[in-house]
């Protein structure tokens, strides 16, 4: 069936000159980048003996993407990363776009998704449906599906299953941290391997990660920095022992851990040995939790060394235990604010 183009096309010639061009992209830098992408696309096709490069297919595909509002340069870049896009008919691409819109992705979000992961257009709608079924079966809320597809749909069985997580643990990970879908198996495995090298058994990590899956998003340098800081405070090996109990300590600001440690030792009077039994103690903010609670409890003549539940209780639990604290902390923060203002 004949299809009218939105803008007149030049006669097909070898090169990018025949492709649709927006006036804003006629600059030297833009055209140079487009030429680089063109060469990359052409050079890719000898790897696919069953397919031959076609100027007509390139023009058609660039036209499809620019008609969606994607710049010509970005369209060329997307095709360079996924050249097989050229062999999909416009109707096929439009049917996949329509499916993504029905899933809940907006026009602009679909464009961003295409540019981030153009190979997604190579998946069949049947595979999209299989992905949705897999996500839902593993406990992912339906409302999260547009987000998961926008960051780059992939079957997580290729990632988390291969790392040793059971279906039940995968479901817990996806509920707490669906962003994990944007990471490759290699990236995730590198974090696990690093912590194994530090001394945390892999079997233990498979138990801990579902409770703190966002720990896999941290750089290995951040992991090492936290371990080193804990070793400085509690002695060699303390950092690895803390990871083996709770990976959540990795999300605490390292300087914040040091401030809380110093306060609990020098002001409250706790020993490092006592604090080493749980990273939750030094994971509490010195300024927002430890100091106001400690000073309040002193006014109430409450013992603060024999039991440490005053540190670990949530705000709600602490107020239920000590009803006068809520009014106290309001006055405390006001005093702190006035002190800070006076010092300026």
* 238-245 vs 185-198: helix crossing angle, rounded to 10: 130
Name the pLDDT band for 261 (thresholds 50, 70, 90). Answer: very high
Cβ-Cβ contacts under 8 Å for 28 (sequence gap 6 or more): none
Instruction: Please state the pTM of the whole predicted model.
Output: 0.64
Asked whether the predicted pLDDT for residue 226 surpasses 90, the reply is yes
Q: What is each CA distance from 267 to 252, 262, 282, in whole angstroms?
A: 21, 8, 13
Residues 6+ apart with CB under 8 A from 147: 178
Q: Compute the average pLDDT of residues 42-50.
A: 74
Domain ranges of the chain: 1-87, 154-247, 252-344
One-letter-per-residue 3-state SS of 83-132:
HHHHHCCHHHHHHHHHHHHHHCCCHHHHHHHHHHCHHHHHCCHHHHHHHH
16 touches 34 (CB < 8 A)? yes
- pLDDT class for 344, splitting at 50, 70, 90? low
Q: Tens of pLDDT along 278-332? A: 999 999 999 999 999 999 999 999 999 999 999 999 999 999 999 999 999 999 9
> What is the rounded average pLDDT for all residues in the chain?
86
Q: Distance between CA atoms of 126 and 132, rounded to whole angstroms?
A: 10
Residue 8 — φ and ψ, nearest 5°?
-65, 140
Give pLDDT tens digits for 109-122.
999 999 988 988 88
Mind listing the pLDDT tens digit for each residue in 127-168? Answer: 889 888 888 887 778 888 888 888 765 544 446 767 888 888
Contact indicator for 303, 316 with CB cutoff of 8 Å: no
Tell me the pLDDT tens digit for each residue of 54-113: 899 899 999 999 999 999 999 999 999 999 899 899 999 999 999 999 999 999 999 999
3-state secondary structure of 22: coil
pLDDT score at 337: 81
Taking residues 234-263, report their average pLDDT.
Answer: 95
């Amino acid at each position: 069936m004949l299809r009218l183009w939105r803008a007149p096309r030049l006669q097909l010639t070898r090169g990018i000159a025949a492709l649709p061009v927006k006036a804003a992209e006629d600059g030297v830098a833009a055209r140079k980048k487009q030429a680089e992408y063109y060469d990359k696309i052409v050079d890719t096709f000898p790897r696919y003996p069953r397919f031959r490069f076609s100027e007509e297919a390139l023009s058609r595909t660039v036209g499809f993407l620019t008609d969606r509002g994607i710049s010509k340069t970005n369209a060329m870049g997307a095709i360079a990363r996924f050249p097989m896009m050229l062999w999909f008919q416009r109707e096929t691409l439009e049917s996949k776009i329509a499916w993504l819109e029905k899933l809940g992705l907006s026009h602009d979000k679909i464009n961003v998704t295409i540019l981030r992961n153009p190979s997604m257009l190579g998946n069949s709608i049947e595979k999209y449906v299989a992905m949705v079924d897999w996500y839902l079966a593993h406990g992912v809320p339906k409302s999260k599906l547009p987000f998961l597809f926008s960051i780059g749909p992939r079957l997580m069985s290729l990632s988390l299953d291969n790392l040793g997580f059971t279906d039940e643990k995968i479901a817990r990970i996806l509920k707490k941290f669906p962003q994990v879908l944007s990471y490759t198996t290699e990236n995730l495995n590198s974090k696990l391997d690093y912590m194994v090298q530090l001394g945390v058994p892999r079997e233990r990590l498979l138990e801990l990660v579902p409770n703190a899956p966002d720990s896999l998003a941290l750089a290995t340098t951040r992991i090492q920095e936290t371990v080193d800081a804990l070793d400085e405070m509690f002695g060699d090996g303390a950092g690895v022992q803390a990871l083996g109990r709770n990976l959540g300590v990795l999300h605490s600001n390292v300087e914040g851990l040091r401030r809380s440690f110093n306060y609990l030792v020098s002001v409250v009077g706790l020993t490092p040995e006592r604090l080493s039994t749980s990273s939750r103690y030094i994971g509490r903010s010195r300024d927002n939790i430890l100091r106001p609670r400690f000073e309040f409890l002193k006014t109430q003549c409450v013992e603060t060394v024999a039991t440490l539940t005053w540190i670990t209780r949530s705000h709600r639990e602490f107020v239920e235990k000590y009803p006068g604290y809520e009014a106290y902390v309001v006055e405390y923060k006001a005093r702190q604010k006035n002190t800070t203002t006076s010092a300026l």
